[in-house]
A and B are shown apart, each in its own frame.
Chain A
């Protein structure tokens, strides 16, 4: 069936470097995408979102890129800090298919000091 998945289950980066977390999705009808960050022992926390009619959106130190041609989503974190260590989930919504938020598997980001 349709699914959202991540390319890499783990990612280790050096403090100060940029991080790129990737996500592939299979439903071309997806309307909306969200990146969540989940720290150990906590619930997922909203980071940034992007509508399907956009290809880029920037926040504070984070940028989300959407490539609908290849159904690919990425989260870029600039100047990665130890506090960025967490599991990152991409999620999608298809409004005319129930509007439910469907999560991918998650990528664990580890930042080395």
Chain B
């Protein structure tokens, strides 16, 4: 298995632009998670899906952030408009378990820089 796939690996954009991050979970996994990692705040859970349905989005910082999972093999995290404070590494993870979190497999991350 190729593992969790994320694209792009690096993204540099200007403040105000829309950013879309993409994730392909491991085939057969029921749960998908989006995290943000910064030096100041560590790893933060933004949102997670179970069977393509958003279960908990309490970690999404504000309305500028949105996430979708149109099918079992694809998810997007969108930031519109982007701000410099959104600069971070964004990880997608998937889990084979029906219950939210157990063992999660992480993708390589997308390093986002907002100028």
A99 to B99, CA, bound (A): 7
Chain B count of residues within 8 A CB distance of the other chain: 20
Residue interface mask A79-113, B partner, CB < 8 A = 1: 00000000001000101001111111110000000
- Evaluate contact between B102 and A43: CB separation under 8 angstroms: no
In the complex, A102 Cα to B48 Cα: how many Å? Answer: 13
Whole-angstrom distance between the alpha carbons of A36 and B100 in the complex? 17
Contacts of A95 in B (CB 8 A): 99
Cross-chain contact B43 with A89 (CB below 8 angstroms): yes
A45 within 8 A of B: yes
Taking a contact as CB atoms under 8 Å apart, the answer to whether B93 and A100 are in contact is no
CB distance from B55 to the nearest CB of A (A): 8
Contact, CB under 8 Å: B105 / A46: yes
Closest Cβ–Cβ distance, residue B108 to chain A (whole Å): 5
In which size bucket is the chain A interface? 20 to 34
Interface contact B100-A100, CB-CB below 8 Å:
yes
Question: Which A residues are in CB contact (< 8 Å) with B25?
Answer: none
Q: 0/1 per residue, B75-115, Cβ < 8 Å to A?
A: 00000000000000001010000011111111111000000
> Are B99 and A101 in touch, CB under 8 angstroms?
no
Residues of B within 8 A of A101 (CB): 33, 45, 100-101, 104
Q: How far is the CA of A3 from the CA of B39 in the complex (A)?
A: 17
Chain B residues lying within 8 Å of A43, measured Cβ to Cβ, are 4, 91, 93, 106-109
Tell me the smallest distance from the CB of B99 to a CB of chain A, in Å. Answer: 6
A42 with B109: CB separation less than 8 A: yes
Residue B56 is within 8 A (CB to CB) of chain A in the complex? yes
Chain A residues closer than 8 Å to B91, beta-carbon distance: 43-44
* CB-CB nearest 10 A-B residue pairs: A43-B106, A99-B100, A101-B101, A103-B43, A93-B101, A44-B106, A99-B101, A43-B91, A43-B109, A105-B42
Chain A residues with a Cβ under 8 A of chain B: 32, 34, 36, 41-46, 49, 89, 93, 95, 98-106
Interface residues in chain B, defined as those with a beta carbon under 8 Å from any beta carbon in chain A = 4, 33, 42-43, 45, 48, 56, 91, 93, 99-109
